[in-house]
Amino acid sequence: MHMETQTGSKPIGDFNFLDPALLDDPFDYYRALHEQAPVYLMPETGMYIIAGYDDLRTILLDTETFSNNLDGYGMLQGENWKVHQEILEERGWPDLSTLNFTDPPTHTRYRKVADTIFNPKRIAALAERIEQLCNAQIDCFIDRGECEFVSEFAFPLVGTIISEQLGLDSGQMGQFKKWGEAIMAPTSRVMTVEELRENAETIVEMQQFIAGKLDERRKDPRNDLISALVMARGDDGEELNMLELQSLMRQFLSGTYESVVTMISHGMLILLRNPDVMAKLRADLSRVPDFVEEALRYDSPVPGLARVVTRDTQVGGVDIPAGSIVMTRYAAANRDPAKFDDPGKFDMDRKNRAHHLAFGNGPHFCVGRALARRELNLAFTTLLTRLNDIELARPLPDPLHVPHALLRPMKELPIRFTKIDMA
């Protein structure tokens, strides 16, 4: 039996962050955090979760106190992570901290390279190709009148775009999925030594492939992101070395795949659950970017990442000792009632919808956000242009999401629809 607090939420201590049911539907938990403890030391993880919008922004901007210099992939694995590292050292390339695992000024060097590769001009030039791929994916299932949206639209679309950009053939997309999942698997749960060994073998396989592609592009550059990476120079004018390149590629692969697939899938789910929103968009497709921004706020596909605290500090009146880990819970901050009125309501007309922190903020502000927004906007514009009467084809699985502390992958989204005659 739960006692309810004055505010209506059950006491924060009654929630367990690692419970798959909570991860599947975390919004009551976020509400309880806002009401009772916006900075909260979770007994089940030993981390401080940050739910308040202003507190989170302060943390993201203060890289001296809240450092990214932590083993982002192995954080949950304790001593067993060594096994993983040894395999990479023996047969692949050992981890080197770059970009999201560094602080300025080291970070600035890698960020310059990443910003060059993902610059808005280069991304704008991909628009035509992205639209073609949206249409090609829809062509595969439109005559059937139904599809499993995650595996037949969101994943192959995002997978093909990034495969093309990173030098894989789309025929190798299965590989790509396997690698993307392997990169993030250790961040989702505690794994056994055997699982970590297998995971490291998969990472080595990916590294060997990447090394080959980098070599090919060095000799014969093309108009893709991987060629831009090979040609990039650090701030010292030197090319990046293999360890740096491997580390960056790993972050590009993990950043691109899961988060955009999840956001496209959640965007569709939001449309199904809010027919008024779908109607509004159909009537005026120029509102798609507003829909996308509100969807990023409403159900953020990278719910949280982490920082390590470098000195004793205080956040929101709570003392946090040096050495602590804080979980930067973007998804909770985006539901903070102090920032967003009636945060549980999907409202694409809200004025401050674009102030969400779904892409973070500060020096680590998502480098792929222009690409992600381009993919999302084109995906929904194309879908609404070609499909009518979209509805759920059968009940959703329960739980709907694969349990994950930092991401929010959806298992499936079966839909049916009628075809819009384009003649």
Footprint of ligand HEM (CB under 6 A): 60, 68, 99-100, 111, 114, 251-252, 255-256, 259-260, 263, 301-302, 305, 328, 330, 358-360, 364, 366-368, 371-372
Nearer to ligand HEM, 366 or 379 (CB): 366
- Count CA atoms within 13 Å of residue 60 on its CB side: 25
Nearer to ligand HEM, 111 or 350 (CB): 111
Determine the residue with CB nearest ligand HEM.
368
Nearer to ligand HEM, 80 or 163 (CB): 163
d(C-alpha 351, C-alpha 262), whole Å: 25
Nearer to ligand HEM, 26 or 368 (CB): 368
Strand ranges across the sheet with 305-309: 39-41, 48-50, 325-328, 305-309, 66-67
Considering the complex, what minimum distance in angstroms separates the CB of residue 357 from ligand HEM? Answer: 7
Nearer to ligand HEM, 353 or 417 (CB): 353
Considering the complex, what minimum distance in angstroms separates the CB of residue 13 from ligand HEM? Answer: 28
13-22: b or e for each residue (b if 16 or more CB lie within 10 Å)?
eebebeeeeb
Considering the complex, what minimum distance in angstroms separates the CB of residue 24 from ligand HEM? Answer: 18
Residues 6+ apart with CB under 8 A from 275: none
Nearer to ligand HEM, 70 or 420 (CB): 70
The alpha carbon of residue 204 and the mean position of all alpha carbons in its chain are separated, in whole angstroms, by 23
Considering the complex, what minimum distance in angstroms separates the CB of residue 258 from ligand HEM? Answer: 9
In what helix (H) or strand (E) does residue 313 lie, and over which residues does it extend? strand 313-315
Considering the complex, what minimum distance in angstroms separates the CB of residue 266 from ligand HEM? Answer: 10
Considering the complex, what minimum distance in angstroms separates the CB of residue 75 from ligand HEM? Answer: 13
Which candidate, 174, 258, 160, places its Cα nearest to that of 209? Answer: 174
**Please, is 225 exposed, middle or buried when counting C-beta atoms within 10 Å of its C-beta (0-12, 13-18, 19+)?**
buried
In what helix (H) or strand (E) does residue 388 lie, and over which residues does it extend? strand 387-392
